[in-house]
């Protein structure tokens, strides 16, 4: 058995890609999608502008060519070997710090299937 970490792939649905583009045109600073271990929405993805990545977070790459994705380090074993699908839903009454909430939207984790036949634990 290999000791190397299993990959984590983050992908966007078409609706989430469109929402990211809309937020990107409305904001000036760099955008970061954070999948954390927060108190209120647990692992709900949050989109922040001019975010400073902390020591307890791992960079997973970029989405849509410009949005950095970071994951809480404690969640890496849970997400390893999975495809993390980011979707978006309408949430006109949402009261979130996440940038897309200004558009009446909320990012969600859609599903976590295993990557290309990777074994899950």
**pLDDT tens-digit readout, 33-92:** 999 876 555 678 999 999 999 999 999 999 987 899 999 999 999 889 888 899 999 987
The whole-angstrom separation of Cα 65 and Cα 44 is 22
Measure the CA–CA gap between 60 and 10, rounded to whole angstroms: 8
- Quick one: CATH architecture of 9-109? Sandwich (2.60)
Neighbours of 86 (CB within 10 A): 24
CA atoms of 23 and 19, how far apart (whole Å): 6
* DSSP secondary structure code for residue 88 in this structure: E
Provide the residue ranges of all domains of the chain, joining segments of one domain with +.
9-109
Give me the chain's average pLDDT, please.
Answer: 84
Name the pTM for this structure. Answer: 0.83
Q: Are 70 and 57 in contact (CB under 8 A)?
A: yes
CB 107 within 8 A of CB 16: yes
- Residue 21, pLDDT > 70, answer yes
Position 2 scores a pLDDT of 45
């Amino acid at each position: 058995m290999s000791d190397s970490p299993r990959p984590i792939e983050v992908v966007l649905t078409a609706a989430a890609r469109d929402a990211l583009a809309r937020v990107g045109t409305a904001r000036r600073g760099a955008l970061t999608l954070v999948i954390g271990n927060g108190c209120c929405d647990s692992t709900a993805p949050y989109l922040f502008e001019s975010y400073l990545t902390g020591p307890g977070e791992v960079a997973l790459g970029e989405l849509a060519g410009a949005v950095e994705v970071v994951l809480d380090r404690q969640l890496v074993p849970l997400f390893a070997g999975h495809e993390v699908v980011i979707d978006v839903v309408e949430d006109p009454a949402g009261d979130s710090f996440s940038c897309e909430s200004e558009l009446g939207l909320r990012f969600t984790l859609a599903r976590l299937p295993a990557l290309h036949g990777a074994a899950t634990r």
